[in-house]
Structure 1
Amino acid sequence: MEVKTVSFIGLGALGILFAHHLTKRLPRDNVRIIADENRIKKYQSEGVYCNGKRCNFNYMSPEDECEPADLLIFSVKINGLREAIHSVKNQVGENTIILSALNGITSEAIIGETYGMDNILYCVAQGMDAVKVGNKLTYHNMGMLVFGDKKPGNISEKTKIVADFFEKTGLPYHVDTNMSKRLWGKFMLNVGVNQTVAVYKSNYGEIQKDGPARDMMIAAMKEVIAISKKEGVYLTEEDLQYWLDVLGTLSPNGKPSMAQDVEARRYSEVELFAGTVLEYGKKHGIATPVNQELYDRILEIESEY
Structure 2
Amino acid sequence: MNKVTIIGLGALGILFGHHLSKKMPETHLRIVADKERIEKYQAEGVYCNEEQCHFHYMTPEDPCEPADLLIFAVKYDGLEEAIQSVQNHVGEDTVILSLLNGITSEAVIGEAYGIDKVLYCVAQGMDAVKKGNQLTYKHMGMLVFGDREPGMVSEKVKRTSAFFERTELPHEIDTDMHKRQWGKFMLNVGVNQTVAVYQSNYGEIQREGEARETMIAAMREVIVLSEKEGAHLTEKDLSYWLGVLDTLSPEGKPSMAQDVEAKRYSEVELFSGTVLKLGEKYGVPTPVNKMLYEQIKRIESQY
* Superposition map of 1:19-38 within 5 A: 19-38=17-36
Q: Structure 1: how far apart are the matches of 2:102 and 2:200?
A: 22
Q: Deviations over 1:185-217 (max 9, x none)?
A: 000000000000000000000000000000000
Distance (whole Å) between structure 2 residues aligned to residue 170 and residue 4 of structure 1? 14
Structure 1 gaps of 5+ residues are none
What does the per-residue CA deviation read over 1:75-124, in whole Å, with 9 as the maximum and x for residues that have no partner? 00100000000000000001000000000000000001100101100000
Corresponding residue of 1:15: 13
TM-score for both structures, normalised by structure 2: 1.00
d(CA) in 2 for partners of 1:180, 1:136? 33
Residue in structure 2 matched with residue 152 of structure 1 by the alignment: 150
Q: Indicate which of 248, 251, 258 corresponds to 2:249.
A: 251
Equivalenced residue count is: 303
Tell me which residue corresponds to 1:81: 79
User: Which residue identity is paired with 1:245?
Assistant: G
Q: Distance in 1 between matches of 2:156 and 2:102?
A: 23
**Partner SS state of residue 130, structure 2:** strand
Q: Where do residues 123-272 of structure 1 align in structure 2 (5 Å cutoff)?
A: 123-272=121-270
Deviation at 1:232, TM superposition (A): 1.0
Matches within 5 A, 1:264-283: 264-283=262-281
String of CA shifts for 1:247-301, please: whole Å, max 9, x gaps. 0000000000000000000000000000000000000000000000000000000
How many Å separate the matches in 1 of 2:200 and 2:89?
39
Q: CA RMSD in A?
A: 0.3
Q: Deviations over 1:29-56 (max 9, x none)?
A: 0001000000000000000000001100
Distance 2:188 2:201 in 1: 14
1-structure distance, mates of 2:211, 2:91? 46
Residue 246 of structure 1: how far off its partner (Å)? 0.2
Give unmatched runs, 5+ long, in structure 2: none
Report the Cα offset of residue 179 of structure 1: 0.2
Query: Please, which of 68, 90, 100 is the counterpart of residue 98 of structure 2?
Result: 100
Identity of aligned residues (%): 69
Q: SS state of the match for residue 125, structure 1?
A: strand
- CA–CA distance in 1 between the matches of 2:112 and 2:249? 38
Distance 2:30 2:276 in 1: 38
Structure 1 runs (4+) deviating above 2 angstroms are: none
3-state SS of 1:184 partner: helix
